[in-house]
Amino acid sequence: MFTRRKLLTALTLATAVGLAASGCSAASPQAPSAAPGSVDLRMTVWTSNKDHLALLDSIAKSYKASRPAIKSITFDSLPFADYNSTLTTQIAGGNSPDLVWMGDLSKDLISAKALVPLTDRLKATPEWGYDDLLESVTAEFSADGQLFAYPFSNSPFALYVNKDLLDRAGQKLEPAGLTWDRVSAIGAAVHSATGKAGFVVRDFDYSSWNMLATVWTGWGASAWSADGKTCTFDSPQMTDAMRFLHDAAFVNKSTPGPGTKADFFAGDAAFTIAQVSRASLLDGSFAFDVLPLPKGPAGAYSVIGQAGVGVLASSRHVEEATNFLAYLTNPENARLLAQYFPPPRASLLTGDKLAENNKKLSAAQLQSVVVDQVRGAVTLPNHKNPAEIAKKGKVALDALWTEKADVPAVLGSVCAALDPVLAK
Amino acid sequence: MRPDTAIARRGPWARRIRRAVLIGSLAVLATPFVIPIVWMVASSFKPLSEIFKTPPTMFTASPTIAAYAEAFSFQPFARQYLNSLYIATAVTLITLLVSSLAGYAFARIRFAGRNVLFIVVLTGLLVPSEVTIVPLFQMFKQVGLVNTHWPLILVTALAAPCVLATFIMRQFFIALPVELEEAARLDGLGQAGIWWRVSLPLARPALSAVAILTFLASWNLYLEPTVYLTSPELFTLPQALTRYTDAYGGEMWSTQLAAATLSVVPMLVVFVAAQRHFVEGIAHSGLKG
Amino acid sequence: MNTSLLAAGEAAHDASPAAGPPPRQRPARTRRGDALVGYLFIAPQLLGVLAFVIVPVALAAYYSVSEWNIFTGQLTFVGGDNYAELFQDPQLPSVLGATAIFLLGVVVLNITLGLLLAVLLNRRFRGSVLFRTLFFSPVVVSVVAWTLVWGFLLQGNGGVNGLLSLVGVDGPNWLQQGGTAMASVIVTQVIRSVGVNMVLFLSALQGVPPELREAARVDGASNRTIFLRITLPLISPTLLLTAIITVVGALQAFAQVAVLTEGGPGLSTTVLVYYVFQQAFEFNDIGYGSTLALMLLTFVLVLTLIQWQLRRKWVFYEA
């Protein structure tokens, strides 16, 4: 009995002490300079691509050569599927990395003051060239005039075309002035002629609805107001855009309905909307083209998916981590990173520069689907509490994907579900 | 051919037909138990473009083992396999020891508060892991054991699955005749000696049932590794299976199937080879009416 | 009381303070030190339950009156806020409804199918061992692998509908409609786990003395009457045990939902367990997650108590 009580007390005590300790650990002060070989930096990334990791390792190696304080820099590859929750768990568990890649977790991190502001440091770094950064790509990672993450990847969404399938269905496509209505019509024709799918919004799968921004932006719609406080799913523009998608799935069948798998890159679909970086999935088994997104009723538009890299305030080596970030993203290394990730720097954004390292796409293609798109692009919906917004939105939006769905009513219920979360 | 019912009760034809009907309906019933496994194995050799072919095919004309190579190159799959194996083995061994000790004591040794303590232990069977997972995570976090295998081993070997094991062992020991123990006691053996030399050898069927159920419980854990582990080289099999997604979150179907096949087939082979022990072990464990 | 009736349920009954000592156990001569050995023997198990079950439940109660900032690690006392949220959460009624349907479906199907298979396989015939093996084999397949494969087969253009189209049936889009999605989750769960129940029932059936059935047959009882009046009452303790194990297992069915449907479409397959996980680990709302978890615990305890009370009505005890 005695043992039992003792253990119980010990456990509760350990928990209480631990909680108190973790409460104040975030505020620990920074030593201005570290002893040689005393600093281990860790950066979490979601790529497991060997070339990407090799590039990062080589940049780290050349940095380390001139910095005796740095003992090691490791790139920790976390699975993409639950990158956010793994990262959150690590931060909450006191096992915080020093630098992080981030996608839609950025707003959470910024509002929790978990990121180190970068603007002053980068501006003060000689020859870093802060003014080279495009404003259209830094906006999502900025707050109160401070940049909190360097947007190293700004990959526009594009329309991939399987020319072989179009030929088989006897369809002709005029790239100039291509509209969504035309894409849908050709898709329906391909589907009825070949049984293959028409167009596929990649990774949407009737679940990740934020990918639909690649479509609804063409109708002038958005998920919420610019200040992120009001849901705009019930706007007339969104209603029309969703009607278009609903009809595509259930009336002219130009896109596969829910629960039907079709992989463009395996040759199962005539079109897909996907990021330019996915060109690496093309295996040459069919003739393809890649075009800017089709025009919607609201005209031409472009959408990018972004990734940033930032320094966590909970890092034990904020100083060294920030220095490394400035090195990793300087003009020379930015040029190297641009082999794989469309850069945020105006000086690097030309079709010829991008084509130097791209085996799948030509300079002209890159010019039209990357360079011409990035400047005016809209990003995918990004907000605080991304997981909750994604889930609650999906739960409500699921009702749309049945044959007799009442589009305005469903979209109203989406807003009813999202507004309380947006207001948090 | 449908014999009339009066004869059907007696004639040899009727018996044969009834048997055929029985076997036929069992075969139909067995389809959803077997087809998924066969389909999984067959599809793991298909090129990606064939997995969702309409109409679907069971076997492919152009088999490839590319997915198997990918399964190992994409993440440290062999290591993850080993993780699952050694965790399940450790959990099983600890559980066998802990549950046979506790089961024996609850069945055979008289001490004050025995019944109350037994009920306290039984609550471990009723508290769903979802209730305890958040506090347990915080507790392990405080002692720095998050992202190690310790939570998976300790909790599984001492909490819920082990409580079921203790329960099974107690039932078994209660049903054993006490005469042998009485005799051993007259020979001067203490409780520990009786447990080790007399009762444990007799408890083999119950121990094998406990071993099987515990091993499977650990082998199948999904929520716990998902919560505790963040480094791919520490992952367990079920967790690893769901991580076959490309750098953009798209699922790598054929690789997933190849990895699933690798995780399932050895267990199935062991099971079929030892199926008598599996089924009989559970049947004779004392868990019966 | 007969030894064959030392069923799990019955024996646990012995554990309650009101019950007498187990029948086979004679009042043993207690030696000095025996009690100490007893405490030592149960110590690892008892400490394990205390550390990994009882303490966490107490901590969960503490978290349920707190608000937690996951990024800064700050814990604030919020009193009954999380409990108030239970009554305002617009999703909770659907979640509880889905949980009830899932539970009912799994328990009823799992027990009837397990019993049916056991009755069919209770006699020896060529192939009976093969069939036992087949029906038990999904038990050794990991839940995740099993569910992944069913996920493939249940796609709109997947294997199940392919099979149906061979016989001219245009199958539904299983995982995308509320009703069929829930049915799919239930059925895949039952197929995977019914083997254990089948084996438990088989061993129970083998404990039913054949003479009893023969005697009834001589008295002119039909097979149905024999099953309902003789076999079923005799195996009812096993029935109780499997019911408890199945209910507890069904309430914890996380992987099935997480992998097969992610709780959709809508909330149709969002069972409580999955909802708790979402709140605590995806939305980082640990306070509310803990509150929901405690509610789940209350359900389990109440359900077990009800089963325990009902057993007096339907579990058969030989005089």
Residue C225's domain is classified under what CATH number?
Answer: 1.10.3720.10
Burial of B247 (0-12, 13-18, 19+ CB in 10 A): middle
Lowest mean pLDDT among A222-231, B249-258, C29-38, C165-174: C29-38
Query: Rg of chain B over CA atoms, in angstroms?
Result: 25
Does pLDDT of C248 surpass 50? yes
Nearest to A261 among C75, C157, C262 (CB): C157
Query: In terms of CA atoms, which chain C residue is nearest residue B157?
Result: C48
Phi-psi region of A220 (alpha: psi -120 to 50; beta: other; left: phi over 0): left
pLDDT in tens, chain B (289 residues): 444 444 445 578 888 898 889 899 999 999 999 989 998 899 889 887 777 776 667 788 888 888 899 889 888 999 999 999 999 999 999 999 999 999 999 998 989 999 899 989 988 888 877 788 888 988 998 898 988 999 999 999 998 889 988 988 887 888 788 888 888 888 888 888 899 988 899 888 788 878 888 888 898 888 888 888 878 889 999 888 888 876 665 677 788 889 989 988 888 888 777 767 666 666 665 554 3
Structure tokens at C168: 């001219």
- Interface check for A266 against chain C (CB to CB < 8 A): the answer is no
pLDDT at position C220, please?
Answer: 86
- In chain B, the residue whose alpha carbon lies closest to the alpha carbon of C19 is B115
Smallest Cβ distance to A14: which of B49, B143, B146? B143
User: How many angstroms separate the CA of residue C228 from the nearest CA in chain B?
Assistant: 16
Mean pLDDT of A149-158: 94
Nearest CA among C1, C2, C13 for reference residue C244: C13
Mean pLDDT of C116-140: 86
Nearest to B130 among C144, C152, C273 (CB): C273
Please report whether residue C3 resides in a domain: no
With an 8 Å Cβ cutoff, are B175 and C6 in contact?
yes
Q: If pLDDT is split at 50, 70 and 90, which confidence band does A26 have?
A: very low
Shortest distance, CA C207 to any CA of chain B (angstroms): 7
CB neighbour list of residue B154: distance below 8 Å, 6 or more residues apart = C48, C52
Residue C3 — pLDDT band, cuts 50, 70, 90?
very low
A47 and B247 in contact by Cβ < 8 A? yes
Residues 48-87 of B with CB under 8 A from C: 51-52, 54-56
The arithmetic mean of pLDDT across residues C45-61, rounded, is 94
User: Does C164 contact chain B (CB < 8 Å)?
Assistant: no
Q: Are C138 and C195 in contact (CB under 8 A)?
A: yes
Pair of tokens at residue B144 = 């720095």
Three-class DSSP category at A201: strand
pLDDT of residue B10: 57
In one letter, which amino acid is C250? A
User: Which chains pack against A, by 3+ Cβ pairs within 8 A?
Assistant: B, C
Cβ-based contacts of C39 with chain B (< 8 Å): 105, 111
C203 or A418, higher pLDDT: A418
Whether residue B222 and residue C258 make contact (CB cut-off 8 A), yes or no, is: yes
Give whichever of A119-133, A253-267, C130-144 has the largest mean pLDDT: A119-133
Q: Which of C73, C155, C281 sits opposite A260 (nearest CB)?
A: C155
Specify whether the CB–CB gap between B175 and C3 falls below 8 A: yes
pLDDT at A47 over 60: yes
- Per-window interface: C 64-83 vs B, CB < 8 A: none
Mean pLDDT (whole number) for C286-306: 87
A89 has pLDDT over 90: no
pLDDT at A240 over 80: yes
The tokens describing A162, both together, are 């399987």
Contact B123 C60 (CB under 8 A): no
At residue B90, the pLDDT reads 97
Q: Indicate the Cα dihedral angle A61, A65, A67, A71, nearest 10°.
A: 60
**Which of A109, A395, A410, A424 would you mutate first to test chain C, the one with the most C CBs within 10 A?**
A395
The one-letter amino acid code at B254 reads S
Whether the CB-CB separation of C45 and B162 falls below 8 Å is answered with: yes
Instruction: Measure B241 CA to nearest chain C CA, in Å.
Output: 7
- The whole-number pLDDT of residue B274 equals 72
Query: How far is C-alpha B186 from the chain's CA centre?
Result: 40
Give the closest residue to A40 by CA, choosing from A324, A345, A241. Answer: A324
C163 is a domain residue: yes
Strand partners, A44: A76, A100
The string of pLDDT tens digits covering residues A339-397 is 888 999 999 988 888 888 777 888 899 999 998 888 888 999 999 889 899 999 999 99
Closest CA to C234 of B289, A333, B261: B289
Diameter over CA atoms, chain B: 75
Chains that touch C (3 or more CB pairs under 8 A): A, B
DSSP A137-199: HHGGGEETTEE-SEEEEEEEEEEEEEHHHHHHTT-----TT-BHHHHHHHHHHHHHHHSSEEE
Q: Quick count: other Cβ atoms within 10 Å of Cβ A229?
A: 11
Domain count along chain C = 1
**What is the C-alpha to C-alpha distance for residues B224 and B146, in angstroms, rounded to an integer?**
11
Using the structure block, give the residue that is written with the tokens 């195996």.
C235
Say if C48 falls within a structural domain.
no
Chain C residue numbers with beta carbons less than 8 Å from the beta carbon of A399 are 265-266
SS3 at position A47? coil
pLDDT above 70 as % of chain A: 92
The model's confidence at residue C241, banded by pLDDT at 50, 70 and 90, is confident
| B17-52 burial: b if 16+ Cβ within 10 Å, else e | eeeeebbeebeebbebbebbbebbbbbbbbbbebbb
Question: pTM score, two decimals?
Answer: 0.81
| CA B288, B289, C4, C6 torsion-angle sign | positive
Residue C245 has pLDDT above 90, yes or no: no
Q: Is there a contact between B96 and B211 (Cβ–Cβ < 8 Å)?
A: yes
User: Which of C38, C60, C252 lies nearest to residue B105, judging by beta carbons?
Assistant: C38
Interchain pair A8, C173: CB under 8 A = no
Question: Which of C284, C286, C288 is the best residue to mutate to test the A interface, defined by the most A CB atoms within 10 Å of its own CB?
Answer: C284
Instruction: Answer yes or no: do B108 and C25 touch at CB < 8 A.
Output: yes
CA–CA dist A271, C183 (Å, integer): 34
Whether C56 contacts chain A with CB within 8 A? no
Find the mean pLDDT for residues A160-164. Answer: 96
Residue pair A78/A125 in contact by the 8 Å Cβ criterion: no
Interface touch A114/C59, C-beta < 8 Å? no
pLDDT at C11: 36
The candidate with the shortest Cα–Cα distance to B250, out of C150, A278, A260, is A278
Query: The tokens of C243 are what?
Result: 């019911």
In total, chain A counts a number of residues equal to: 424
Measure in Å the smallest separation between the Cα of A226 and chain B Cα atoms: 27
- Closest C-alpha among C242, C247, C264, C258 to residue C143: C258
In chain B, the residue whose alpha carbon lies closest to the alpha carbon of A45 is B247
Report how far apart, in Å, the C-alpha atoms of C192 and of each of B43, B85, C138, C145 are. 20, 21, 5, 11
Q: Is the confidence at residue A22, as pLDDT, over 60? A: no
The distance of Cα B37 from the centroid of its chain, to the nearest Å, equals: 17
- What are the strands, taking DSSP E only, across C21-106? 66-69, 74-77
* Alpha carbon distances (Å) from B74 to A87, B104, B139: 20, 47, 33
Tell whether C114 is covered by a domain: yes
HSE-up of residue C50 (Cα within 13 Å, Cβ side)? 19
Quick one: which of B152, B120, B143 has its CA closest to B221?
Answer: B152
By mean pLDDT, which of A135-144, A186-195, A222-231, B200-209 is the weakest? Answer: B200-209
Question: C50 in a domain, yes or no?
Answer: no
Contacts of C179 (CB under 8 A, 6+ apart): C268
State which residue of chain C sits closest to A257, comparing Cα positions.
C156
- Minimum Cα–Cα distance from A16: chain C residue: C59
Tokens of A209: 């609805």
Angstrom distances, CA of residue C267 to CA of A410, C95, C263: 14, 7, 6
More confident residue, C206 or A148: A148
Residue C96 CB partners (closer than 8 Å, separation 6+): C272
In degrees and rounded to multiples of 5, residue A76 shows phi and psi of -95, 110
Phi and psi of A259, rounded to 5°? 75, 10
Residues A39/A15, Cβ–Cβ less than 8 Å = no
DSSP SS3 for A220:
coil
How many Å lie between the alpha carbon of C36 and the closest alpha carbon of chain A? 11
Which one of B130, B137, B150 makes the best mutation probe of the C interface by having the most chain C beta carbons within 10 Å? B130
In angstroms, the CA B42 to CA C153 distance is: 13
pLDDT in the model for residue A73: 94
Q: Does C39 map to a domain?
A: no
Q: Can you give the pLDDT at residue B247?
A: 62
Q: How many inter-chain contacts (B to C, CB under 8 Å) are there?
A: 340
Full residue range of the structural domain in which residue C169 is found: 90-318
- pLDDT at position C171: 83
Q: Is C264 inside a domain boundary?
A: yes
Assign 3-state DSSP to chain B and report helix, strand, coil percentages, each to 5: 75, 0, 25
C178 touches B: beta carbon within 8 Å: no
Direct distance between the N- and C-terminal alpha carbons of chain B, in angstroms, rounded to an integer: 41
Closest chain B residue to C141, measured at CA: B264
A160 touches chain B (CB under 8 A): no
Q: Would the CB atoms of A15 and B142 count as touching at under 8 Å?
A: yes
- What is the DSSP code (8-state) at residue A293? P
Among C43, C72, C265, the residue with its CB nearest the CB of A112 is: C72
- Please state, rounded to an integer, the average pLDDT across all residues of chain A: 87
Query: Between chains, do C173 and A260 touch, taking CB under 8 Å as contact?
Result: yes
CB contact under 8 A, A395 and C69: no
Q: Are A234 and A416 in contact (CB under 8 A)?
A: no
Look at residues B32, B40, A291 and name the one whose alpha carbon lies nearest to residue C164: B32
User: β-strands A197-201, A269-275: how paired?
Assistant: parallel
Output the six-digit token pair for A403. Answer: 């044959």
Structural domain includes residue C74? no
Residue-level pLDDT at C162: 82
**Phi and psi at residue A290, to the nearest 5°:** -130, 130
B241 shares contact with chain C (CB less than 8 Å): yes
CA distance A266 to C191: 33
Backbone angles phi, psi at C72, to 5 degrees: -105, -15
* Residue contact C70–A394, C-beta within 8 A: no
Q: Where are the beta strands (DSSP E) in chain C?
A: 66-69, 74-77
The encoded tokens of residue C273 equal 């367990």
